[in-house]
Amino acid sequence: MPAMTAVEAGARAGAGVPAEAVGPLVRGVGVLRRLAEAGGTLSPSALERATGLARSTVDRITATLARMGYVRLDGRDVVLTPGVLELGNAYLAALRLPALLGARADALADELDESVSLAVADRDGIRFIHQATRRRALSVSFRIGDLLPAERTAPGALFATEWTERDWARWRTRRAEDPRDTAFPAVPPRPEPAPAHDTARTTDTAAAVEAAFADRVGAARRDGWAVDDQLIEPGLVAVSAPVRDPRTGRVACVASVVSHTSRHPAAELPAALLPRLRTAVAAMEADLRTAPPPEPGPAPAGLATWTTASKQELGRDFVESLARGLTVLTAFGEGRPALSLTDVARATGLPRATARRALLTHEYLGLVAAAPHEDRAFALTPRVLDLGFPPLSRTTLPRLAEPHLRALADRVAEPAALAVLTADGTEIQYTAGAGTGGVLTVRIPVGARLPAAATSLGRVLLADTGAPAAPELAEARARGYALVDEELESGLRSVAVPVRDRTGRAVAAVNVATHAARRSLEDCVEHLLPALRATADDIQRDLHRASRFTKVPTT
């Protein structure tokens, strides 16, 4: 597991922590970071070892995060859930760059048949905010939120053209403390350094790394673009160009075309890919110049009341100061990139003193900073993406649905399933399911296909496609659900409802199946349908969170 950050080390030791910092918030953020670094799942005992916290503290923190919908307690494991994405979504919405430039990056990836990424600076590293990937057996991509050391990337050289001497000093300190890049789990660690007694060789290595990076920064300043020639790992190459903020002229983000040497040797990238990349970057900069000011989205409401009620219900198992501190991050968002203390208190309903302590703690943890060009205001930093975004940014709809289907099957004691329409619209394909332990039960394996028109799942999906009118489809469209009674197989009854994406389109359907001898048609509608609709709502909520800035495959 990566070494803890200097901030967390200081927090654990009690060194340098501001007097007004909220201790439970510091510890809760540490738990979220450890979960993210571990891929989204750890046992409580593993969290105890990773954070150095007492088991009772870990249990209270995870119970609070579960209440907030940021984790679920799955057997012996603590698992990140899509609810935690609201923190990273707040940063990306406030930033606006993914929303304004993502379509350009996607179009460039389609045109070149290569992966394209957008990255922003994060101190002496870079962090990805958008990925347009190609589906190949040998894929080249990172996850949104992944942090990489600047010196091992092409974007890093471009960002470093604007570094101050203080920035270079911070970079040298980090390199000296972590020469193998163990604090960057998204990249392979560097080889073991020279033995400690071999000071001359160690110095030579550090000097060589700095000299090589300085040369690439100089070339980037001169050329206006940069190349990554297998700096991260063998075979991986990229060419990058800066997208400049029209207001300041500084680098707002860097666009990169990423490939591998079997497709494009690094020496060929400037001729093969750079011209089209520069054209796309010029269009991105034009989009930034002409983008209208954002309309502020709705601020979160009732958060202070909710945390108080949760504390009253759960008692000491709910750490109110942690919950309130994390809700402060959600006060930011689209049209709200910079907020004063008063703004944050008003948006969250928290007392000014509580909001102030939370902001000071987040500033200490590197999650907020003074907003540029705004007096006495704060802004989120890219480090908010550390709080669970990378492991969840490549989720799929079946993966999102599975825990909800299990809960539904347990609740109604009947099997539940998720399905999508095939490309030609004639069949459905099962993509996720949860069974029961009954002797007589419905068992349809994931991947199986059935005629769409003869299934409840297929009918609610066909009803949303504008398929030729049929009484069954018209009925499903009017009711919002489909009920099939022994049409596919004798004794089999099934009720299904749609799962809709952020645009309102039905992209999948969920159903509950039962035996006719066990439940009447009326029972299916009165008892199964409400539980089924609640499950579809839960899946939709997770899908909408996960797909706000990433593409969520339906299979």
Instruction: Summarize pLDDT for 517-527 with one digit per residue, the tens.
Output: 788 899 999 99
Q: Which range, of 180-194, 213-227, 236-250, 520-534, averages the lowest pLDDT?
A: 180-194
DSSP state of 536: H
Cross-strand pairs, 161: none
Which pLDDT tens digit goes with each residue over 331-386? 999 999 999 999 999 999 999 999 999 999 999 999 999 998 788 999 999 999 99
pTM of the model: 0.92
Q: What one-letter code names the amino acid at 337?
A: P
**Where is 57: in which H helix or E strand?**
helix 55-67
List Cα–Cα distances, 13 to 16, 50, 53, 321, 384, in angstroms.
Answer: 9, 15, 12, 20, 23
Closest among 26, 48, 22, 24 to 35, alpha carbons compared: 48
Based on the number of CB atoms within 10 Å of its own CB, is 15 exposed (0-12), middle (13-18) or buried (19 or more)?
Answer: exposed
Kindly list the domain boundaries of the chain, sorted by start residue.
6-82+296-392, 97-290, 397-546
DSSP 3-state assignment of 390? helix
Please give the average per-residue pLDDT across 119-144, as a whole number.
86
Residue where the block lists tokens 């009732």: 302
Q: Identical fold at 6-82+296-392 and 97-290?
A: no
Whether 493 and 440 have beta carbons less than 8 Å apart is answered as: no
The pLDDT of residue 466: 78
Number of other CB atoms surrounding residue 438 within 10 Å: 13
Binned at pLDDT 50, 70 and 90, residue 11 comes out as very low
- What is the per-residue burial (b if ≥16 Cβ within 10 Å, else e) of 166-178? ebbeebeebbeeb
CA distance 284 to 290: 10
Choose which CATH entry (3.40.309.10, 3.30.450.40, 3.20.20.140, 2.40.160.40) describes domain 397-546.
3.30.450.40
Residue 186 has pLDDT above 70, yes or no: yes
Which tokens is 113 given?
Answer: 């048949």
CA distance 431 to 407: 17
Binned at pLDDT 50, 70 and 90, residue 300 comes out as confident
- What CATH number is given for 97-290 in this structure? 3.30.450.40
The pLDDT of residue 438: 64
CA distance 482 to 476: 5
The pLDDT of residue 136: 62
Q: What one-letter code names the amino acid at 151?
A: E
CA distance 141 to 232: 12
Binned at pLDDT 50, 70 and 90, residue 500 comes out as very high
Fold of 6-82+296-392: Arc Repressor Mutant, subunit A (1.10.10)
Q: Are strands 236-244 and 251-260 parallel, antiparallel or unpaired?
A: antiparallel
Max mean pLDDT among 60-69, 195-204, 514-523 falls in 60-69
Cα angle at 549 between 419 and 404, to 5 degrees? Answer: 35
Phi then psi for residue 351, to 5 deg, are -60, 150
Whether 108 and 130 have beta carbons less than 8 Å apart is answered as: no
The pLDDT of residue 296: 83
Residue where the block lists tokens 């999948």: 508
Residue 470 has pLDDT above 60, yes or no: yes
Bigger pLDDT: 9 vs 448: 448
Residue 199 has pLDDT above 60, yes or no: no
